[in-house]
A and B are shown apart, each in its own frame.
Chain A
């Protein structure tokens, strides 16, 4: 799985949760939840969807590594390879 595949999947899952904000509008290095205006239940839904899609655990103790779009993509890359 390439970085592009991961970013595309991440974009799809975010679009389900925040259909009014497109990837092009956000700063990928800024706080993910601020950029997409998502609350803790949205974030939990995002993690749930990604964990299912990629077969990962994504424990709560790792949430700190998922704080921006780029960091979340890095996290998925690291755990999928």
Chain B
């Protein structure tokens, strides 16, 4: 017998609301199955079970908001009883977050199961609205417009914080990062001509659903460079750095109306570029719809933040704890560039690294960025 606990889905989460019990009491569950869906400041997160057995009982009602580490369900694993705290393997104990006192608690919901569109859920989670407290038309899901109307009608009752739930989550994680992590920063200019030309050539014969975008190549180049510079890939916890085996690269994804999340694409080196592109589209689609998997939030080992093609030259990232590095890439633009002694016009992007000085230093960081650059000059090999 063991217990399935409310997981910690990152440095910025202290509690979550159970919104779906995906496995009924008496039903079997296998390791890897989605056992529950939990609403957090980031949206609805599907939680995988890390054990196999039979769900005997749910201990928390749908709609209830409970702290990280609270037992949600009992699972009969066929083994003797274990202390509850030791049962759910992947969940690290929540780190104390000093911001906690300053954070406005999410409204506690009333318990009914609510039908709502993904856009509505996402907006509600972002703004800290209890979706189950909104008026419903029987048989009709709550839509984005309903939540927006509610927000208009009911201004934030605690205007002194003025922060949405999503903004508070970002504030908590980034405050911790700036407090605990001694960041250092490097920048490097990269010529993008080879990459841009290669992508144009590949995409020319392809239907839109099969076309590639530059971030796929950034991800592949970073993953390959990490094989040589593994000190930038992993987690720093309790005074110790644990390098990760695989490059699970978190991709910073902006959400409509503000906020961002950085869920992981798993083992990027092991994915061919077309497969990685499909995974990236799927991930971004799910994130924008406000629904993703717990592992995607907790198991990123480094982050990529790309400004896309409507941004500025460069950015200096803030490391997402317990990771130790974040790679940034600015918007490529035509710039003067010297080739063989001649000034020519070339597509240039600024690559940046923010890294944790407890783990690495500028010398190795510079070699890491140069390795990414080198791989981007050979896009056909990525």
Identify the A interface with B (CB < 8 A): 18-20, 33-34, 37, 39-41, 44-45, 47-48, 51-52, 57-61
Residues of chain A with a CB closer than 8 A to B310's CB:
33-34, 39
**B3 vs chain A, min Cβ distance (A):** 38
Residues of chain B with a CB closer than 8 A to A48's CB:
207-209
The 7 A-B residue pairs with the shortest CB-CB distance, nearest first, are A48-B208, A47-B208, A19-B119, A51-B208, A48-B209, A39-B308, A60-B203
B309 part of interface (Cβ distance < 8 Å): yes
Residues of chain B with a CB closer than 8 A to A51's CB:
207-209
Give the distance in Å from the alpha carbon of A40 to the alpha carbon of B214 in the complex. Answer: 10
Q: Count B-side interface residues using an 8 Å CB cutoff.
A: 22
Give the distance in Å from the alpha carbon of A16 to the alpha carbon of B343 in the complex. Answer: 45
B273 part of interface (Cβ distance < 8 Å): no
Which residue of B144, B200, B281, B308 contacts A19 across the interface (Cβ within 8 Å)?
Answer: B144
Give the distance in Å from the alpha carbon of A37 to the alpha carbon of B255 in the complex. Answer: 10
- Which of B208, B309, B310 has the most chain A CB atoms inside 10 A of its CB? B208
The residue of chain A having its C-beta at the shortest distance from the C-beta of B210 within the complex is A48
On whether the beta carbons of B213 and A20 are closer than 8 Å, the reply is no
Given known contacts A33-B310, A39-B308, A45-B281, is B257 in contact with A20 (CB within 8 Å)? Answer: yes
Identify the B interface with A (CB < 8 A): 119, 144, 148, 200, 203-204, 207-209, 211, 213-214, 254, 256-257, 280-281, 284-285, 308-310
Which residue of B148, B208, B280 contacts A58 across the interface (Cβ within 8 Å)?
Answer: B208
Residues of chain A with a CB closer than 8 A to B280's CB:
41
Residues of chain B with a CB closer than 8 A to A18's CB:
256
Give the distance in Å from the alpha carbon of A57 to the alpha carbon of B358 in the complex. Answer: 51
A sample of 7 more A-B contacts (CB under 8 A), given A47-B208, A57-B207, is: A19-B256, A44-B281, A51-B207, A51-B208, A60-B200, A61-B200, A61-B204
On whether the beta carbons of B213 and A40 are closer than 8 Å, the reply is yes
On whether the beta carbons of B204 and A41 are closer than 8 Å, the reply is no
Given known contacts A19-B119, A19-B144, A20-B144, is B208 in contact with A44 (CB within 8 Å)? Answer: yes
